[in-house]
Structure 1
Amino acid sequence: MTRQIQGFIGVAAAQMLLGTLGVCVLESGADPLSVTFYRCVIGGLVLALYGAFRGNLSAVLRLPPRVLGLALASGLLMVGNWVLFFTAMQHIGIAVATIVFHVQPFMVVVIGALVFRERLHAVTFGWIALALIGLALATESTKGQTAIDAPWLLGICCALGGAFLYSVVTIIAKGLTGITGPQLAFVQCLCGIVLLVLVVPVGPLEVSSVQWAWFAVIGVVHTGGVYMLLYNALPKLSTPLAAVLLFLYPATAIIADAIVYGHRLGPAQYAGVGCILIASLGVTLKWGVRRSLSVSASRVRGER
C-alpha cells in the first residue's frame, strides 16, 4: 500500500468517524459540560497511553515556556469550542450545527488578515460572500419558516462561537513548533479536565452505565483514535486532496442526522451546503488568487 493510499484511508476514516460524533453526544443524554469533561478524561488517557507507547509523553513536561503557554491557551479555546458545539447540536440538530461550524476556514482567513496583516485578495472576498450566502440558506428551517426563536438563535450563535474559537486554535497551532499533534491534543484534554472538574454537572458516580458506554466511544474513538489517525495520515496527502476529504465530516454528519433522527435538509439548505463547501475549497486551495495576481501584475506593467 502506497503512502498516499494510507493517508487517504486514514483521513477518510477519521472524517467519517467525526461525522458520527453528534449522534453519540445526543444519545448520551448528558449536558455539554459533562460530555466535554468525560471526553477530555477518556480521550486524554488514550492519548497519554499513545504517547507513552511512542516514548514521547515525558517530552510534554520539557516543552519551552512559550510553546507550553500557547498549547495551554489552545486548550482553553478548544474546550470552549467543544462545549459550544455540543450545545449547538442540542438546539439546532447535528446537521445544521456542523454546517454552520464549517464556516471556520473563513474566520481563519479574516483573523489572519487582522492579526498578522496578511493580504486579502479580491477573489477571497468573493469566496467569503458566497459562504455567507450559503450560511443564510443552510440555516433556514426545513418547515418553511425562518425559525428565529430563542433556542434556534442560541444554537446558531453557539455554533458560530465554537467555529471562532476553533479558528483561533488553528492559528495558534500553525505557529507552534517543537510539539507534535497528539501531544498538543493531550495538553488540550488536560486543560479540559482542570477547567471542568469542579463544575461538571454529572459526577462519576452519577453517570449511568449507558452513558459511560457513549462517553467511552467519544473519548476512545472520536478523540484519541481520530487524532491519531489524522496526525499520522494528513502529512501523507497533498493539500488539495486533504481539503476535499475533510468535507466527509459534514457529509457524514448530515447522513447520520437523517438516518438516526429523521432530520432531512430542504433544497435551500442543500444549496447552502454546496455554497459553503465550494467557497471553503476556494479559500483553502486559493482558487483564482494566482490568476488575479498575474492580472494585476500585467496591469502594472501596462501602466509603466
Structure 2
Amino acid sequence: MSRRVQGYLYLALAMVTVGSTVIASKLIASGLPPFTATALRFALALPFFFVLMRASGARLPKLSGYDRLILFIQAGAGSVGYTTLLISGLSLTSAAYAGVIIGTLPVVSAAISILLLGERPQPALLLAVALAAAGVFSIAFAPGAAGGSLAGNALIFLAVVCEGLFILLNKRLKTEIAPLAQSTLMTGIGLVVSAVPAVFEAPLAHGFSPGAFAAVAYYALVPTVGGFLLWYAGAERVSGTEASLFTALAPVSAVILAFAVLGEAVGLNQIAGIGCVLAAVLGLAFAGGRAGTKLIEER
C-alpha cells in the first residue's frame, strides 16, 4: 500500500470517528447531564494526551498572558461549548439531523472569518455558503417524523458556531503551538472549565447510566485521542487540500451511523440536506479552503 493510500485510509477513519461523536452524544444525552459528561470526557482523555506528549518528547510552549487568554476562550467555546451544546441538542433532535448540521463546519468557519476578520469572499465560498444553508434549511424546518426538533437543531448549529469561533481564535494566537500540545492544552483547560458547572448539575443525584458512561469513554478515547492520531498520521502523507476533502465524510458517517446504530429513519429531506452540505464542503476544499481540517483537533 502506497504512502498516499495509507494517508487516505487514516483520514477516512478519522472522519468516521468524528461522525461517530454524534452517535455517542445522542447516547450520552439520555443518561448524563451535558457538563458532567463533558468533564468526564476530558478527564478520561487527558492522561492519554500526557502519555503521547511524553512518548513523542513534545513540550508545552511558553505562552504570553494574551495567548493564555485566547486558549481559555478557545477551550470554553470549541471544547466545552461545542460538546455541551451538541449533547443538549441531541436530547431534542435526531442524530441524523445533527450529522447534516455539523457537516457545515468548514463553511461556517469561512463565513465567520468573512464577518469578523473582514476577509474578502471568493465566489466559490459564497456558493458553498449558499449550498450549506440550503442543506441546513432542508432539515431544520422539517422536524417531525424522524425525531427532529427546531430547538434541538438550533442548539446543534450553535455548537458548530462555537467550533467556528475556535478556528477563528486560533488565528489570533501569537505563539505557534504544535497540534499535540494544543490538543493537550484544550483538553486540560476544558476539564477545568466544564468541571465547575458540572458540580451544579449534581451528577450524583442524577445517577450514572452505564450506557451513557460507556459512550463518554468511547468519545474520550476513540474520536478525541484515536481520531487525533489518525488525522495527523494521514495529514502528513497527503497535501492539505487532499486532507480537507475528507472532512466531507464526517456528516455522511454520522447519518449512516444514525441509521445503522440507532435505527433512525433517514428521509428525503436529510438526503437532500447531506447532498447540499457535501457539495458545499467539497467545493470549498477544491477552492483551497482548509478551515475544516481543525475539525478533528477537538473531537
Q: TM-score range by the shorter chain?
A: 0.7 to 0.9
Task: State the match for 1:136 in structure 2.
Answer: 137
Residues 65 and 255 (structure 1), Cα distance of their counterparts in 2 relative to 1, 3 Å cut: same
Over the aligned positions, Cα root-mean-square deviation in angstroms equals: 2.6
Contact persistence 1:182–1:228 (CA under 8 A)? no
Task: State the match for 1:183 in structure 2.
Answer: 181
Deviations 1:245-295 (A, max 9, x none): 2222211111111122221221132112111110222223228xxxxxxxx
Residues 106 and 213 (structure 1), Cα distance of their counterparts in 2 relative to 1, 3 Å cut: closer
Supply the AA of the counterpart residue of 1:221.
V
**Structure 2 unmatched runs, 5+:** 289-299
Report deviation, 1:131: 1.9
Please give the residue correspondences for 1:215-226 in structure 2 after superposition, counting only pairs within 5 Å.
Answer: 215-226=216-227
**Structure 1 unmatched runs, 5+:** 288-304
Worse overlay, 257-266 or 77-86: 257-266
Please give the secondary structure, in 2, of the residue aligned with 1:20: helix
What is the TM-score normalised by the length of structure 1? 0.82
Among 146, 156, 161, the alignment partner of 2:158 is 161
Deviations 1:188-239 (A, max 9, x none): 1112221122321325995465544332222111211112221332232223
Contact persistence 2:32–2:206 (CA under 8 A)? no
Worse overlay, 263-272 or 21-30: 21-30
How many residues are paired up?
Answer: 281
Residues 197 and 130 (structure 1), Cα distance of their counterparts in 2 relative to 1, 3 Å cut: closer
Deviations 1:64-91 (A, max 9, x none): 4444333222111121111111212221
Residues 94 and 49 (structure 1), Cα distance of their counterparts in 2 relative to 1, 3 Å cut: same
Provide the C-alpha distance between the structure 2 equivalents of 1:132 and 1:21, rounded to a whole number of angstroms: 22
Residues 196 and 131 (structure 1), Cα distance of their counterparts in 2 relative to 1, 3 Å cut: closer
Residues 142 and 199 (structure 1), Cα distance of their counterparts in 2 relative to 1, 3 Å cut: closer
Provide the C-alpha distance between the structure 2 equivalents of 1:211 and 1:23, rounded to a whole number of angstroms: 11
Report deviation, 1:174: 4.1
Provide the C-alpha distance between the structure 1 equivalents of 2:194 and 2:107, rounded to a whole number of angstroms: 30
Report deviation, 1:164: 0.8
Please give the secondary structure, in 2, of the residue aligned with 1:60: coil
Provide the C-alpha distance between the structure 1 equivalents of 2:206 and 2:232, rounded to a whole number of angstroms: 34
Provide the C-alpha distance between the structure 1 equivalents of 2:162 and 2:206, rounded to a whole number of angstroms: 31
Provide the C-alpha distance between the structure 2 equivalents of 1:209 and 1:101, rounded to a whole number of angstroms: 27
What is the TM-score normalised by the length of structure 2? 0.83
Please give the secondary structure, in 2, of the residue aligned with 1:86: helix
Residues 212 and 107 (structure 1), Cα distance of their counterparts in 2 relative to 1, 3 Å cut: closer
Provide the C-alpha distance between the structure 2 equivalents of 1:230 and 1:11, rounded to a whole number of angstroms: 5
Task: State the match for 1:197 in structure 2.
Answer: 195
Report deviation, 1:166: 0.5
Report deviation, 1:179: 1.2
- Percentage of matched positions with identical amino acids: 22
